[in-house]
Chains A and B, each alone.
Chain A
Amino acid sequence: MNAKAMTEKYISRGLVYAVLLIAAAFFLTPLYVMVATSFKDAEQIRSGNLLSLPNSLNLDSWRLAWDSACTGVDCRGLKPYFLNSVVMAVPAVLLSTAWGAINGYVLSMWKFKGSEMLFGFMLFGVFMPFQVVLLPMSQVLGYLGLSSSLGGLVLVHCLAGLAGTTLFFRNYYAAIPRELVNAARMDGAGFWRIFWRIVVPMSTPILMVTLIWQFTSIWNDFLFGVAFSGADSKPITVGLNNMANTSSSVKSYNVDMAAAVIAGLPTMLVYVLAGQYFVKGLTAGAVKG
């Protein structure tokens, strides 16, 4: 390679890395700003700027955001909302995942006349704008006595997530060789035996993908949370939004940022620990059918 080609190569490599690093800075800056701001006191926020480092690791805003910041007259911080989200998300994630697994098993290995078409119609549930279900659902929750309750939110999330979880499992199970199932049927294994002995043990990857996907979307949901919750059943996203949009005279951005980090922490943690499954869920969500 001659000198000119070498220089060109170095310049183009440099350019590639420069672009990638600038982009990384663009994505990381808001996270830095959130964390840095949460450690500042009001004085530092006034005198410093977005990028300035906090003087010390002042945890006051975190304490306030967690259990004593006020939203209107309610001064309990984010804690009750956080607990609501946990109580709501755990059963909703488990139920919608288990339900999707069973549906996906039937729709891939026990197909019957018309099952493909039913699956096709079910798929629209992944894309539909949930605004359409808000008004009927709130009436149904009323009939069931579940208005403004965490139980109602669990039910809504199970129904809303069903199309997606069914899709995940159905597509995954469709790739399992049919010979395996047919052989088991020859040996006299029935529907449930095949499910528990053959299908479930092969399901770990798709279980991870679905659990993470459901947890992320249910934890992050705001639409159902704001429409169907009552005073004591608001999830974390609603709590955060109310806190950050409360029209008090003094805006405490440090408390807002601590609250935002707290609200984002569980899903961030899952992403860092199991990012590969999260990415698989995202890509599976786009490549359907």
Chain B
Amino acid sequence: MKSLENIIPKLVIAPGLVLGFAFIYGFMVWNGVLSVTASRMLPSYDEFVGLEQYVRLWEMDRWRLALKNLGIFSVLYVGGSMALGMGLAIFLDQKVRLEGVLRTVYLYPMALSFIVTGTAWKWMLNPSLGLEKLMHDLGWASFSFDWLVQSDTAIYCVVIAGIWQSAGFAMALSLAGLRGIDDSIIKAAQMDGASLPRIYWRIILPILRPVVFSTVLVLSHLSIKSFDLVMALTAGGPGYASDVPATFMYVMSFTRGQIGLGAASATMMLATVAAIVVPYLYSELRTKPHER
């Protein structure tokens, strides 16, 4: 009886662990295997080509452009969402009325699909009838805004829509952090004659460092995985000017019949996310006190 009691939990969790690990690590290895084959339209495991797909990948202008776009997008999206979200959290923390309503308003885009967001912003940023027409109607006749259809600016439209969607998330986390800070710290600093902006910059921000750190981490990994928003807003275009690694991987694997190359690009994405996330997970698990 005793031994049965001990074995039940393990039996119960076994399917989750086995399938979960197969999905995460098994597929990771499988994808890695595909990336060293010559697979094109269909996966084939007959021909081992070593790192050839990776060499091809890094020689492709399209891949390098996708990486450059990812760099631009990540820095501006993470930085912009963080700055706007943190700023709003600080203003919200000044004991304002209607705080609940404002919070709800700032955060609702997070509940929407990136496809919905992308579709909406595509309409607003379209060069003929969108923002440009609005500014003309408001009397700014020379205003011109065609970023969405220009190769070198399309990615910035993705940044704008991305920040709109995610700033509320940074706000929610920052606000939770601010609420954890004792009011007396601010009061004491005010007694010493420090101005409020100075208090926030020199005292509060350093206290919030862990919150900022985890928010940046989550936003960074989201930016590396970002796929939907680009597909809905620019579909990687014009041409492939606003391609990012995730859209590159999809196009190569599912429409261009370059499965080996697609698998290689997925591996590169995995390596990037792992480099950011694994140290974080490791430290989180290490510092956690063990109950037993």
Contacts and interface: CB of A to CB of B under 8 A. Distances in A.
Interface of A: 16-17, 19-20, 23-24, 26-28, 30-31, 33-34, 37, 45-46, 49-52, 99, 102-103, 106-107, 110-112, 115-116, 118, 120-125, 127-137, 139, 159-160, 162-163, 166, 174, 178, 190-192, 216, 219-223, 226-227, 237, 240-241, 244-245, 253, 256-257, 259-261, 263-264, 267-268, 270-272, 275, 278-279, 282-283, 285-289
A218 B124 CA distance: 27
Contacts of B288: 289
A284 to B, nearest CB: 11
B109 interface: yes
A259 B119 CA distance: 9
B77 interface: no
Contacts of A270: 111
A268 B263 CA distance: 35
Contact of B21 (A23, A107, A121, A289): A121
6 contacts: A19-B91, A30-B120, A103-B13, A120-B281, A127-B221, A253-B126
A122 B20 contact: yes
B253 A134 contact: yes
Given A133-B28, A160-B23, A222-B113, 12 more contacts: A110-B9, A122-B20, A123-B285, A162-B19, A222-B115, A222-B231, A223-B250, A241-B232, A244-B119, A253-B129, A257-B119, A288-B281
A248 to B, nearest CB: 15
B131 A275 contact: no
A268 to B, nearest CB: 6
B214 A287 contact: yes
B16 A162 contact: yes
Contacts of A116: 285, 290
A285 B218 contact: yes
B94 interface: yes
Contacts of B96: 16-17, 20
Nearest to A174: B291
A49 B137 contact: yes
Residue in B108, B122, B231, B274 whose Cβ sees the most chain A Cβ within 10 Å: B108
B228 A222 contact: yes
Interface string B97-112: 0000010111111111
A260 B237 CA distance: 21
Contact of A131 (B111, B217, B269, B278): B269
A289 B285 contact: yes
Contacts of B87: 19
Contacts of B84: 23
A100 to B, nearest CB: 8
B269 A240 contact: no
A135 B34 contact: yes
Contacts of A223: 227-228, 246, 250
Contacts of A261: 116
A287 to B, nearest CB: 6
Contact of B112 (A120, A162, A264): A264
A31 B119 CA distance: 12
Given A27-B164, A124-B24, A283 B291 contact: no
A49 B134 CA distance: 5
A16 B111 contact: no
A289 to B, nearest CB: 4
Nearest to A228: B254
Given A27-B164, A111-B292, A129 B224 contact: yes
A16 B5 CA distance: 60
Ranked nearest first, the 8 interchain pairs of A and B with the lowest CB-CB distance are A289-B284, A110-B9, A220-B113, A271-B111, A136-B30, A222-B228, A264-B116, A136-B27
A268 B246 contact: no
A31 B111 CA distance: 13
B266 interface: yes
Interface stretch (B149-157, B165-173, B185-193, B198-206): B165-173
A227 B172 contact: no
A103 to B, nearest CB: 4
A286 B177 CA distance: 12
